[in-house]
Amino acid sequence: MDDLIADFVSECRDMLENLGGEIVAWEASPQDRARLDSIFRFVHTVKGNCGFFDFPRLERLSHAAEDALADVRAGRRQPYPRLVSAVLAVIDRIGELVEVIAAGQPLPEGDDADLTEALKPGASEPAAAPAAPQSSPVAAAFGTAAPRTIRLSVDLLDRMMSGVSDLVLARNELARRLRDSTTDVAIGGAFERLSGIIAEMRDAITRTRMQRIESLFVGLPRMVRDLSAELGRQVLVDIDGGDVELDREMIEMIRDPLTHIVRNAVDHGIELPAERLKAGKREIGLLSVSARQSGNQILIDIVDDGRGIDGRKLVAKALDVGLIESGEAARLSPREQLNLIFEAGLSTAGAVTSISGRGVGMDVVRSNVERIGGIVEVESKPGQGTRMTLRVPLTLTIIPALTVSIGAQHFAIPRAAIEEIVRAGGESVELSRVGGAGVVTIRGRRVPEITLADVLGLPSGMSQEERTLIVLKPAGGDVYALSVDKVHDHEELVVKPAAPAVMATGLYAGTTLADDGSPILLFDPAGLARVGGVRVEAQERSMRLLEETKVVAAREDTPVLLFRDCAGARRAIRLGVVDRIEEVKGSAVSMGAGRLRVQLGEAILPLAGLDRVPEPTDKIRLFRLSDGESQVGLAFSEVMDLDAIADEIIAADAPGLVEGVTLVAGEPAELVDAYWLFASEGAQRASSSEPPVCRIDLSDPWVRNMLRPIVEGAGYRVVALDAEEPVDLTIAWGTDASSGASDGRTLWLSASPDAANENQIYRYDRTGLLVALRDAAAAGRARK
């Protein structure tokens, strides 16, 4: 409201200044309709605004003048000198009252009856119209001088800031030249004074760009009201800190992220009135939006007292869509669980609406805030509410930065993102590669490495050990090391927007000029990590898990995934047997050898959880279960939650897919019996396990076409007779097999059932052959 009143006062002053000559000119030329219209518009605007701001005295004055001028415009009255004098006296009194409002003082008492009577038809001309402000009762009651103000265009402010930016660049160039030459002490002192003056000027002009953040908050109550009505919720909005000032460009940049967070708070956070009463809360939800300044940052808090964010559900959703692996999910800290909300494609909404549920938004919110050097933080407790905090810099016009180079190309990095600078060849630094990616260990701390020359495709004449490592901490809070050829000076650089094609790369936050006037691109540390192939949050989690060397005591409760099967039943499965979650088309599922099977890449796994072959166009979601050696697929409909079980399991009446029933998240759920599943589904041996090797005569057609499929079906890898590698079993057959003796590693087959004895098996005795193959494989494993 203070800002609106200030705008009203400023507008009135401008119009009063212009009207001073208009009234006199109108008196000299009563037929000049343009001047009459100008005067009428002024009193009409004042009357309308006074009704909004509740200034009844001003409203009465302007209403009386408006009626009189309306009669003149309609031709019902003539602009005689006495009427012009009366209008002039009213406008003078309005000007006095406006100055009282500008000073923040209450309007003095008075009815201004003498002025309003003089405006009525037939009134005699006042003997002394109070035209001069200082002679009026209002002027006598108000003796404080109003502050001097001036209105400037935004373009002019931008030109002034650009001029200061050029001054900063010139100062930087002069500083470089003074460093490179022998400087007289007096010249150095003069330069320091000049630097101080430029800094003061920069701060003063930066203040002119500041705007109260209330302009960002003013539309939120209406938006929340409309959204609450649409969603059937009741929400009370509390706004605080509107007097905090922020660069007007920054206000526009954070408008969309703030709007999205507020909409999420109403849609996801605040419950329906009935749900709130059931949870012991009052029907009306509270949404608080506040701003405060902390150092050179502005902190904007958006707090609701709704249902909060359940980190376990976020983990379950992330597992469901394949963002993380099950082993990683079990060890995520609470902060890391909540930060999953910023992953692209992750949504906890129960259904897609016009407001939310598509899994897009929070990742964009964070990337937009980080692009301007800000941070998004989230804190939440299920059932109690959520706090989102935006940390943004006061201004982006001039920032401290570090210049670096690759070959002859120079770049800049925001100083706020730099944690430390080390030599790659230093004693405390160890360079290595893990899975094809660079990893740097600095004093025992492992961080991912990005080589700038490789990312940009620029030639570099330095070896890896000769380069310099800059440890960066992007706005998201995680760390990585950037390898550059050389590090140059710390400078204050003027940031300007880069070309759209440059910004589209995702690498840069803008462009700047070096002290010699040459252009330099300013890196966006978070964007550099993304383009460089480092998923910062995932990398940080992986590093933490790899570095865990302490033995964690076994918990009494067991982590499980709660899900719905394809028939809609509520079930749970132990998290330790879930290798990953897959999604395939129905065409990958087929009936083979009497059971459903699914093709996953090069592997064909038995598939449980379905009772028929799906349509080719259907999408099937399944758990890929593993016991360390074998794998089985288990189809399901949706993942509901990640929880733990510690209660007693009520066993099923008979062995089967369901081990029993237990409580999960406070409700009964059927627990999948993974042991039975692996035993009954004929689980395929995992590709990572080495199968036993069998040597047979592949030149024989019967061996190739009849025997080989049986042997491979039993889990063996088949090689030819002339293979040099060690084998677990050799199979031979022929009419002379009876003369051979079994050495435990050779299996003899006979061509006739009559010839079968204790040393050989009839070649069409499937049962005997499979038993012999199984025993040979077990003996082979025992020998190993």
pLDDT tens digit sequence for 406-443: 888 889 888 878 888 888 887 778 887 765 567 888 88
Q: Does residue 632 contact residue 617 with C-beta atoms inside 8 Å?
A: no
pLDDT tens digit sequence for 4-39: 777 777 777 777 766 655 666 666 676 777 777 877
Q: List residues bridging with 386 in a β-sheet.
A: 304, 380
pLDDT at res. 261 = 92
pLDDT at res. 24 = 60
Considering the chain, tell me which residue range(s) the CATH 2.40.50.180 domain(s) occupy: 398-546, 558-685
pLDDT at res. 734 = 60
pLDDT at res. 105 = 76
pLDDT at res. 721 = 86
pLDDT at res. 601 = 74
Checking if the pLDDT of 629 tops 80, the result is no
In which band, very low, low, confident or very high, does the pLDDT at 387 lie, cut at 50, 70 and 90? very high
Considering the chain, tell me which residue range(s) the CATH 3.40.50.2300 domain(s) occupy: 693-783
CATH topology assigned to domain 398-546: OB fold (Dihydrolipoamide Acetyltransferase, E2P) (2.40.50)
Q: How many angstroms separate the CA atoms of 98 and 438, rounded?
A: 68
pLDDT at res. 33 = 77
The CATH number of domain 693-783, selected from 3.40.50.2000, 3.40.50.720, 3.20.20.70, 3.40.50.2300: 3.40.50.2300
pTM of the complete model: 0.47
Lowest-confidence range among 44-58, 296-310, 579-593, 657-671? 44-58
State the residue for tokens 């000119």.
25
Q: List residues bridging with 598 in a β-sheet.
A: 589, 605
pLDDT tens digit sequence for 83-135: 777 887 888 888 888 888 877 777 777 777 778 777 777 654 444 444 333 34
Checking if the pLDDT of 524 tops 50, the result is yes
Q: Which CATH architecture best describes the domain 154-208?
A: Orthogonal Bundle (1.10)
User: Is the Cα dihedral 479, 485, 486, 490 positive or negative?
Assistant: negative
Q: What is the mean pLDDT of the chain?
A: 77
Considering the chain, tell me which residue range(s) the CATH 1.20.120.160 domain(s) occupy: 2-141
pLDDT at res. 365 = 85
Strand order in the sheet with 297-304: 235-240, 285-294, 297-304, 385-393, 375-381
**Residue percentage of the chain with pLDDT more than 90:** 5
Best mean pLDDT range from 200-209, 432-441, 719-728: 719-728
Q: Does residue 313 contact residue 348 with C-beta atoms inside 8 Å?
A: yes
Lowest-confidence range among 301-315, 663-677, 736-750? 736-750
Query: How many Cβ atoms sit within 10 Å of the Cβ of residue 172?
Result: 21
Mean pLDDT in residue range 712-738: 77
Q: Which residue has the higher pLDDT, 539 or 403?
A: 403
Mean pLDDT in residue range 633-649: 82
Q: How many angstroms separate the CA atoms of 543 and 439, rounded?
A: 10
Distance of CA 20 to the CA centre of its chain: 55
State the number of CA atoms in the 13 A half-sphere of 640 facing the CB. 19
Q: How many angstroms separate the CA atoms of 83 and 88, rounded?
A: 9
pLDDT tens digit sequence for 679-698: 776 544 444 457 788 998 88
Checking if the pLDDT of 235 tops 50, the result is yes
Best mean pLDDT range from 289-293, 320-324, 554-558, 624-628: 289-293
Checking if the pLDDT of 398 tops 50, the result is yes
Query: How many Cβ atoms sit within 10 Å of the Cβ of residue 784?
Result: 9
Lowest-confidence range among 71-80, 167-176, 554-563? 554-563
Considering the chain, tell me which residue range(s) the CATH 3.30.565.10 domain(s) occupy: 212-309+348-393
In which band, very low, low, confident or very high, does the pLDDT at 565 lie, cut at 50, 70 and 90? very high
CATH topology assigned to domain 2-141: Four Helix Bundle (Hemerythrin (Met), subunit A) (1.20.120)
pLDDT at res. 634 = 92
The pair of three-digit structure tokens given for residue 759, joined into one six-digit string: 């040393």
212-309+348-393 sits in which CATH class?
alpha beta
pLDDT tens digit sequence for 326-345: 777 777 878 888 888 888 76
In which band, very low, low, confident or very high, does the pLDDT at 630 lie, cut at 50, 70 and 90? confident
In which band, very low, low, confident or very high, does the pLDDT at 300 lie, cut at 50, 70 and 90? very high
Checking if the pLDDT of 186 tops 50, the result is yes
Mean pLDDT in residue range 293-305: 81
Considering the chain, tell me which residue range(s) the CATH 1.10.287 domain(s) occupy: 154-208
In which band, very low, low, confident or very high, does the pLDDT at 635 lie, cut at 50, 70 and 90? very high
Q: b/e string for 490-514 if b means 16 or more Cβ within 10 A?
A: ebbbbbeebeeeebeeebbbbbbbb
Mean pLDDT in residue range 686-711: 79
Q: How many angstroms separate the CA atoms of 220 and 226, rounded?
A: 10
Q: Name the nearest CA neighbour of 379 among 317, 316, 301.
A: 301
Q: How many angstroms separate the CA atoms of 334 and 696, rounded?
A: 57
Write down the CATH number for the domain with range 558-685.
Answer: 2.40.50.180
